[in-house]
Amino acid sequence: MIKKAIKKIKGFCSIRNLKGIYFYIKPYKFRTLAAVLVTIPVGIMDTAIPWALKCYMDAVTSGKRSTISVYMPFLILVFSIAQSIFTYVATYVNSWVGIKISNDLKYDLFKKLMKCEASFFDRNVSGTIQVRFNNDVDTACAGLLNSLKMFSTRIFNSLSLIIALFVISWRLAIVAIVILIFALYPLTTIRKRISGIVGQTVFSGAAIATYYIEAFAGNRIITSYNLYDYQMRKISDALNYAFRLGMKMVQRTGVLSPIMHFVIGGGVAVIIWMGSYLITHNLLTAGGFVAFVTSVIMLYQPIKTIGNDFSAVQTSVMAMERVLSLLKETPAVINRKNAIQLTSVKDQIEYRNVDFEYEKGQPVLKKINISIKVGQTIALVGNSGGGKTTFVNLLPRFYDITAGKILIDGVDIRDLELDSLREKIAIVFQDNFLFTGTIRENILLGKSSASRKEINEVVKLAYLDEFVSKLPKGLHTQIGERGVLLSGGQKQRVAIARAFLKNAPVVILDEATSALDNTSEAIVQKAINNLMKDRTVFVIAHRLSTVRNADKILVINQGEITEAGTHAELIEKNDAYATLYRTQLS
Ligand SMILES: Nc1ncnc2c1ncn2[C@@H]1O[C@H](COP(=O)(O)OP(=O)(O)OP(=O)(O)O)[C@@H](O)[C@H]1O
Ligand SMILES: [Mg+2]
């Protein structure tokens, strides 16, 4: 029993960050304490049963019907009622604390998720995020609290039963304890045996969750490419893998219960054999013997099932470790100490000797040098994969550069307070994410405090007014998940309206019109022209007609600026840009 306790405590201590767990228990420490304290009577009261049996048996066998044997049934009844009430209270308080802690953890993890940098989302699939941020917390908290309750109930239960054993017969008690230690020995190896599998199981769970998410998000592609069989094969492979892992887990843990069962069965046999000897030599009464065997059986009961419980506890401890390590991870892109608030962009934005790589050793941008005066429009053109999107993503610090500097009015953007930096930049992507809700709600994301007048104005500037006025519910029309109920051009104009409302001095337009037909493009282009007015703009476009009027055009190929100048200058130069332009014109 003691070894069990040590083993259990070791299990918890091996969590590198015990402090991490305590941090979450702390706000509820009194309730947690209460939850543990109620388990004391629950555990101790079990001893009443062998004790009552002993008195009763001794009274009956000696022929003396003492008063106690008359009241015994009532006493047992009262005890079990009291025990039931305590059990209920223990479960209630435990669940209360458990759910609270789990919610706190989820809240913090979500906060963490919101602060994760772009590369985190590059590295992790959606299923992993769901499993690690949501399911793991459930596993961790449910298991943790449950095992805390189980553990404390059983420790008090076992301690009181062990004391009872020694009171009844110390000789038998020693034998029983020795057998117990043998039965518990296999448990000490379990953690090592299963830790690898638990990790793999989490990954396989994440893979399965991802397939579900993809089935939802990618359903159009799946239908149009007839990917039904392909997807079914993927999920079936994943499920088979999960099955094999599950069975491996059973192989490694499933033997424990039978082994312990065997050892304990043998132990009970030895005790009965010894007990008979003690009785015949008048070293033990019949009642004492019955009470002893009952105590031993009661003591072994939790231990017999502990093989199963233990792998559950281990699973939850490991989940807790993953959760805590996730919480400890510091995102790569964070505020520096004493970060400066960016209040306005007055003079210029400069890329100075900027190098960038997503993966170590694979440069994506090389020695980028360019400066942009406030109010200018810079166009980026070039081959696909050349690094245009990467170029603009560095400005709001989705990623931090590998070498060089990006300066706004002479200040390194890594010295600027992140929120204040991002506040100054409005981005319209090619594929804009819209949230489930109404058109109005999506536009308001640009500035939640906007007045009705402001909203109407941006709706007009984004050329949304005509479309919206035709809708029976107008701006309050639901747009479906990710805006599926809108056309591509409508979605882009909602995104443009959102960017308008943000009213940021710097605007980034990444292929904002490339997916549109000519009529829609003309409208969206007009909206974009409005958005570009009096702002510093970075515009990426494949269609060179949209970049003609830019103050400077950069041709980016394979991570390098190969040409730079105005439209006229680059045509004059008669190099790559000029060739590209002529091809598009014809
Ligand atoms: N998140 C990422 N992780 C790793 N590599 C990336 C990531 N995003 C882009 N890349 C790589 O960086 C290079 C530049 O990509 P980028 O998206 O900047 O090109 P682009 O010029 O915008 O192309 P396009 O015109 O097709 O949009 C490509 O080789 C691409 O494979
Ligand atoms: Mg791009």
On average, the pLDDT of the chain sits at 82
Could you identify the atom of ligand 1 that is nearest to the CA of residue 559?
14
**Spatial distance between the Cα atoms of 502 and 289, rounded to a whole number of angstroms:** 82
**Helix 286-328 × helix 48-61 angle, to 10°:** 170
**Spatial distance between the Cα atoms of 288 and 274, rounded to a whole number of angstroms:** 13
Tell me, rounded to whole angstroms, the distance of Cα 327 from its chain centroid: 9
In sequence order, what are the beta bridge partners of 537? 377, 507
How much of the chain is in helix, strand and coil states, percent to nearest 5?
65, 10, 20
Check residue 380 and report its DSSP letter: E
What pLDDT is recorded for position 66? 62
**Spatial distance between the Cα atoms of 359 and 343, rounded to a whole number of angstroms:** 33
348-585: CATH superfamily: P-loop containing nucleotide triphosphate hydrolases (3.40.50.300)
**Which residue in this structure is represented by tokens 């998000």?**
217
122 lines ligand 1 (CB under 6 A): yes
Q: Domain 2-213+245-328 - what CATH class?
A: mainly alpha
364 lines ligand 1 (CB under 6 A): yes
| Ligand index nearest the alpha carbon of residue 390 | 1
Q: Please, how many CA atoms are within 13 Å of residue 188, restricted to the half-sphere of its CB?
A: 12
Both structure tokens of 555: 């041709």
The answer to whether the CB of 286 falls within 8 A of the CB of 279 is yes
The answer to whether the CB of 284 falls within 8 A of the CB of 35 is no
Q: What number is the average pLDDT over the span 496-520?
A: 81
In sequence order, what are the beta bridge partners of 368? 354
What pLDDT is recorded for position 304? 58
Q: How far is the CA of 381 from the centre of ligand 1 (A)?
A: 14
- 249 pLDDT above the threshold of 90: no
Tell me, rounded to whole angstroms, the distance of Cα 571 from its chain centroid: 52
How far CA 422 is from CA of 51, 205, 418, in Å, comes to 72, 35, 6
- 238 pLDDT above the threshold of 70: yes
Could you identify the atom of ligand 1 that is nearest to the CA of residue 391?
18
**DSSP string of 413-459, one letter each residue:** GGGB-HHHHHHTEEEE-SS----SSBHHHHHHTT-TT--HHHHHHHH
What pLDDT is recorded for position 267? 82
Smallest CA separation from ligand 1 atom 3, residue: 358
What pLDDT is recorded for position 305? 59
pLDDT in tens, 470-480: 888 888 888 87
What pLDDT is recorded for position 370? 93
Pairwise pLDDT comparison (173 vs 220), residue with the higher score: 173
What pLDDT is recorded for position 1? 46
Pairwise pLDDT comparison (190 vs 107), residue with the higher score: 107
Could you identify the atom of ligand 1 that is nearest to the CA of residue 390?
18
- CA angle at residue 192 from 191 to 193, to 5 degrees? 90
**Spatial distance between the Cα atoms of 2 and 10, rounded to a whole number of angstroms:** 12
This prediction has a pTM of 0.71
Report the range of poorest mean pLDDT among 80-89, 136-145, 388-397: 136-145
Both structure tokens of 323: 């959760």
Residue 443, classified by CB atoms within 10 Å of its CB into exposed (0-12), middle (13-18) or buried (19+), is buried
pLDDT in tens, 259-272: 777 877 888 888 88
What pLDDT band is residue 309 in, cutting at 50, 70 and 90? Answer: low
What pLDDT band is residue 354 in, cutting at 50, 70 and 90? Answer: very high
Structural domain boundaries in the chain: 2-213+245-328, 348-585
